[in-house]
């Protein structure tokens, strides 16, 4: 029988603390089983399809799932006082959520996160771990080792992809422990939006080592945005294993404002990918530097993620 070593530690740079930190991975044993064992690879297609993810995500809507909230908060040191409580009256906010999904899509309290306002600075559109490139090219292989990311593949449309050829790229990975709402990075309007069908593989860096086409094979929701300060953007929400649903809360035919909520992911780890036009903007320097080292950069929602080119 083949023995597989434990997944290596996932280290990321926390901009707020200025330190390298080790990620606490939710479901790490399951991810290891699914991507490294013969049995896991055999059943892989059964658990990475949308039906399994929607079923598992639906379990998080059951009232009984609320029992998972308190242990989850304690294990992953969630600063629960930073968030609005749930709809159920309770003395302790950990007991105020009707089910796990209500907790999962919790909102920050007013004033806990602020968006940079200078026109030349792009605010982080998700509270997540970021990698970034000034331009999509043959050197930009991280975190998809051995596979060249192309704009046309990410958006799932060759004609639309031409707009973003050679442009900047940001990948924001949201862990299950993170805030799971995503926001607009600038003022503007939606030019187009469409869904790209696909599977629901994990976006965990460990899984990416074993499947190098996850960002172009997973189900995606693509929005083409016209912004005031950063040109056209392709804003891509990527589904992942056990993500019950990608929910759009903003109306497509309504102009949006910087920092306004665009939508949210129900239960599961997930990713937002942002593409820009060539030379329009570039990721913040610490993101670029860390990406070159193969390290993600953890940012708070609304802090600087990129600057105008």
Handedness of CA 107, 111, 115, 119 (dihedral sign): positive
Residue 140 has pLDDT above 60, yes or no: no
Give residue 211's pLDDT: 43
Pull the structure tokens for residue 179.
């805030």
Count the Cβ atoms, other than its own, within 10 Å of residue 198.
19
What is the residue extent of each domain of the chain? Answer: 27-104, 121-308
Give residue 57's pLDDT: 59
C-alpha pair distances (Å), 78 with each of 57, 75, 83, 91, 103: 21, 8, 10, 18, 11
> pLDDT: is 11 or 57 the higher one?
11
Give residue 260's pLDDT: 98
In contact, 207 and 31? CB cutoff 8 Å = yes
Nearest in space to 223 (alpha carbons), one of 198, 203, 248, 241: 248
Residue 80 has pLDDT above 80, yes or no: yes
Mapping DSSP to helix (H, G, I), strand (E, B) and coil, where does residue 87 land? coil
Give residue 219's pLDDT: 79
In contact, 126 and 183? CB cutoff 8 Å = yes
Whole-angstrom distance, CA of residue 49 vs CA of residue 53: 7
* 279-304 pLDDT per residue, tens: 999 999 999 999 999 899 999 999 99
In contact, 64 and 97? CB cutoff 8 Å = no
* 146-201 pLDDT per residue, tens: 456 788 888 989 999 999 999 999 999 998 899 999 999 999 999 999 998 765 54
Count the Cβ atoms, other than its own, within 10 Å of residue 87.
10
Give residue 234's pLDDT: 98
- Average pLDDT, whole number, for the chain? 83
Q: Examine residue 151 and say whether the peptide bond preceding it is cis (omega within 30 degrees of 0).
A: no
Who contacts 156 (Cβ-Cβ below 8 Å, separation ≥6)? 196, 216, 220, 222
Pull the structure tokens for residue 165.
């050829």
Residue 7 has pLDDT above 80, yes or no: no
% residues pLDDT > 70 (the chain): 74
Give residue 17's pLDDT: 95
Rounded to 10 degrees, the C-alpha dihedral 29/201/25/264 comes to: -140
* 198-257 pLDDT per residue, tens: 655 444 444 444 444 545 567 789 999 999 999 999 999 987 654 457 899 999 889 999
> Mean pLDDT throughout 261-275?
88
Give residue 246's pLDDT: 85
Whole-angstrom distance, CA of residue 43 vs CA of residue 246: 24
Give residue 88's pLDDT: 95
Residue 3 has pLDDT above 60, yes or no: no
Pull the structure tokens for residue 117.
């306002």
Whole-angstrom distance, CA of residue 63 vs CA of residue 82: 23
Whole-angstrom distance, CA of residue 214 vs CA of residue 218: 6
* Cα angle, residue 35 at apex, residues 43 and 173 outer, rounded to 5°: 115
> Mean pLDDT throughout 129-139?
84
Give residue 44's pLDDT: 46
């Amino acid at each position: 029988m083949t023995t597989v070593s434990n997944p290596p530690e996932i280290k990321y740079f926390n901009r707020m603390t200025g330190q390298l930190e080790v990620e606490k991975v939710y479901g790490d044993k399951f991810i290891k089983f699914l991507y490294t064992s013969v049995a896991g690879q055999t059943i892989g297609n059964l658990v990475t399809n949308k039906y399994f993810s929607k079923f598992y995500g639906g379990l998080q809507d059951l009232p009984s799932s609320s029992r998972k909230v308190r242990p989850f908060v304690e294990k992953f040191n969630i600063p629960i006082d930073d968030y609005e409580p749930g709809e159920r009256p309770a003395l302790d906010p950990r007991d105020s959520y009707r089910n796990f999904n209500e907790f999962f899509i919790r909102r920050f309290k007013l004033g806990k996160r602020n968006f940079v306002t200078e026109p030349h600075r792009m605010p982080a559109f998700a509270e997540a771990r970021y990698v970034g490139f000034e331009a999509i090219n043959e050197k930009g292989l991280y975190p998809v080792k051995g596979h060249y990311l192309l704009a046309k593949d990410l958006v799932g449309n060759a004609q639309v992809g031409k707009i973003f050829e050679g442009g900047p790229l940001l990948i924001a990975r949201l862990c299950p422990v993170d805030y799971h709402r995503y926001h607009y990075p600038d003022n503007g309007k939606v030019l187009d939006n469409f869904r790209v069908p696909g599977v629901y593989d994990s976006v965990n860096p460990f899984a990416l080592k074993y499947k190098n086409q996850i960002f172009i094979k997973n189900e995606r929701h693509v929005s083409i945005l016209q912004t005031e300060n950063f040109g056209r953007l392709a804003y891509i929400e990527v589904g992942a294993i056990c993500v019950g649903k990608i929910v759009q809360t903003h109306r497509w035919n309504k102009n949006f404002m910087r920092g306004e909520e665009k939508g949210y992911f129900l239960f599961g780890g997930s990713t937002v990918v942002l593409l820009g036009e060539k030379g329009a903007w570039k990721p913040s320097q610490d993101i670029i530097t860390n990406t070159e080292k193969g390290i993600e950069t953890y940012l708070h929602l609304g802090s600087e993620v990129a600057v105008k080119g």
